[in-house]
Structure 1
């Protein structure tokens, strides 16, 4: 009996050793970097760092007719350690070519000072050409041309998105420190990316579903290891008026009529459907005269925080940026790990604000009754946002 037991132990031990040898003989060194290139420049599964706070468990489905490119059929790029910006080598036309995508994203929100903020970041010597209004993540990957009527155009795939940064990539590659490190970075300033999810039915994993399981945050989580997201929120009532006046030549009275109509459309929808359904619906979006749904910040913030940890986001307020741009810019530079002097910070903060709407000054303030209407509509979303961020400033009570 003892001999049989001893034989089984030896057999099991031998089997374990054999499996260990097979595994370690077949697997590649997880720290192997240099110029080993995977198909399309993407790293294979066993080399990925398990840095996802929530396991996505999203499978490649492949894109069907009329669907957006399935990013989950691609593996995450193998980012190079000697580049601060996310860059990698990919084989293209039989040659190794450097590819780069943004180090940071100014995700949102529209008409909240994103153009001004993007300029003050771009002014830093280590930042090159943050691209403004690319609209890849929110519109163009789905074949939509603009946010209002969502007119169709040829979809832009991930390769197309990379090409937007070809000039930037060359500059990043040729700029090095004494140690050979490439410290230059670039960004994507497309503020609609934060809250325009209306292309969700075209994502292959969502096809045939009544509500999305995959949205922009999931797609970006698949592509990036350590993204830096910047959000600048503005009182949603003021934001909507500024946006409307910028896009139209209409008056404050016209704005009141449009708001009254759009609130009725959204609230009628919400009596029969979820809030998310009504805010993410492209069909409802096409019936609206304003982007009233963009101001429901907390709904979108919750979607992003389901996928990314809170520390991935630097969240500012337009009102604070207007009042003390130097303090806000210090937060931004620190978040992006950019070196600066107080003299430089004072100088760039003193530059007059960009993209100030002359049309709004010409049309005058919104009507008081419109403000009451919008403040009431947005109040629950503001309370929710203040609760999420644990900051009463996002109630916009003063």
Structure 2
């Protein structure tokens, strides 16, 4: 550092002998800016070099601490993720090699199931850390690329002063959006044995663009754990409590990760005993509600307001165009990949905007099938939105029984039900109107496949 000061001083002295005052000031300013830039680059390079030098030893330390290592089953799942039929080719998203890096990173930080603490119903372990809960609240949604965030998390993780209990969720409320999930999630959290993260939907599994660099993946996983650090501390006094990840994108969204098989394998490899809740709504009603939601999120862009009288006409035209594109895709590719492509707008970019319908989300059987191919059926609870509207208490009892938590006093839930259930009602459309014939006809075989897959004809609609 001192040699830079010497260089700046020497050049400044020579400049003072040869130039006018204004020119001297300008050049001194530019010289100072150049030197500071060089120092910053040097610092970043040095920081990066430090990461490279210590990455292997830190990973080994974590592996020894948690008793980790890739097993034969892990290698088998990695080969499945690499298979040609799983991968969507494109410029955007996560590469297969980055997925392999993520897989290894998950198994570097998170212990194998036989090393989880047995007194908890969630995957919990003690991680050496001096990270305070207040700092965690600031960092769980911070930009991982920020050097300050990198410094705070890495100093906490790799220069430990105490053991901190960290837990992964054991319950994943994975779908589907615009089906009443927020109301059900809110009611579930009224149960003393159920806890969420700082927000309902972190979307960590589906919207994190994983990279191959060592610090990024490590910090990304730690950031997800921070999301549930408050719930983990609650578990110290209430070990029977279950943590819930309410991200509704988990079951269907492969747009960022760009791999149709990856998520079920990744999640089940980390939390093999997890339970999954799937709430579904009539596919056409969900589709319309989804379009209206996107309009609320993007007012004054395509449709000035979500309450326009011609919203139904816009919906029908958008659905017609989407179905045409989808059927064209089926002439050249298979159903899972066309479902992915229709969600991606056929252009390799995310197009969640007002006036378009996300047809692929409502093809429930395509998304659910890939999860049931990896995870046993008994770990899933499939629910219907109409049941939530007609008898919410019965639905709650089903969920409590499925999760193995005690039933609550029904009298205590009356106010909760009255407060939250109204949100399930969305703008009504008459799906039996002849205008909807073409879209109902499109979904009919897909609904039938869903009913056969779940062996429950109530989902055939």
Does the alignment reach a TM-score above 0.5?
A: yes
Ranges in structure 1 where 5+ consecutive residues have no aligned partner? 1-36, 144-153, 177-181, 202-211
Distance 1:101 1:391, change over 3 A: same
Map of 1:4 onto structure 2: none
Deviation at 1:57, TM superposition (A): 5.6
Paired positions, count? 327
CA contact (8 A) 1:115 1:354 kept: no
Aligned partner (choices 72, 77, 85) of residue 104 of structure 2: 72
1:44 matches 2:101: no
CA contact (8 A) 2:183 2:424 kept: no
Is 1:157 matched up with 2:224? no
Compared CA separation, residues 356 and 391, structure 1 to 2 (3 A): closer
C-alpha distance 283-159 of structure 1, shift in aligned 2 (>3 A): farther
Q: How far does the alpha carbon of each residue in 1:93-122 deviate from its partner, in whole angstroms, 9 at most, with x for none?
A: 224222112121111111111001101110
Corresponding position of 2:230? 167
TM-score by length of 2: 0.64
CA RMSD between the two structures: 3.3
Q: 1:390 to 1:316 in 2, by over 3 A?
A: same
Which TM-score applies when normalising by structure 1? Answer: 0.73
Q: Distance in 1 between matches of 2:273 and 2:72?
A: 11
Structure 1 residue 44 displacement after superposition: 2.6
Conserved? CA contact 1:121–1:127, under 8 Å? yes
Q: Which runs of 5+ in 2 are unaligned?
A: 1-60, 83-93, 129-156, 296-305
Query: Is the CA contact 1:98–1:169 (under 8 Å) kept in the aligned structure 2?
Result: yes
CA contact (8 A) 2:81 2:96 kept: no
CA contact (8 A) 1:329 1:349 kept: no
Task: Select 2:423's aligned residue among 342, 351, 355.
Answer: 355
Structure having the higher helix fraction is: 2
| Superposed displacement of residue 323, structure 1 | 1.1
Deviation at 1:287, TM superposition (A): 6.0
Query: Stretches of 4+ moved more than 6 A in 1?
Result: 63-66
Matched, 1:230 2:277: yes
SS across alignment from 1:269: helix
Q: Is the 8 A contact 1:107 1:191 kept in 2?
A: yes
The residue that corresponds to 1:3 in the other structure is none
1:40, 1:134 → 2: CA distance?
Answer: 29
Counting only pairs closer than 5 Å after superposition, residues 95-114 of structure 1 correspond to structure 2 as 95-114=162-181
Aligned residue in 2 for 1:85: 122
Matches for 1:223-302 after TM superposition, within 5 Å: 223-248=270-295, 249=306, 251-281=311-341, 282=344, 284=346, 286=350, 289-302=356-369
Within 2, Cα distance between the matches of 1:49 and 1:66?
Answer: 18
Residue 86 of structure 1 deviates from its aligned partner by: 2.0
Larger radius of gyration: 2
Question: Offset at 1:320?
Answer: 1.4
* Shift in alpha-carbon separation, 1:229–1:64, aligned structure 2, 3 A: closer
1:6 corresponds to = none
User: Within the alignment, does 1:197 sit opposite 2:262 as a pair?
Assistant: no
Q: Does 1:126 align with 2:193?
A: yes
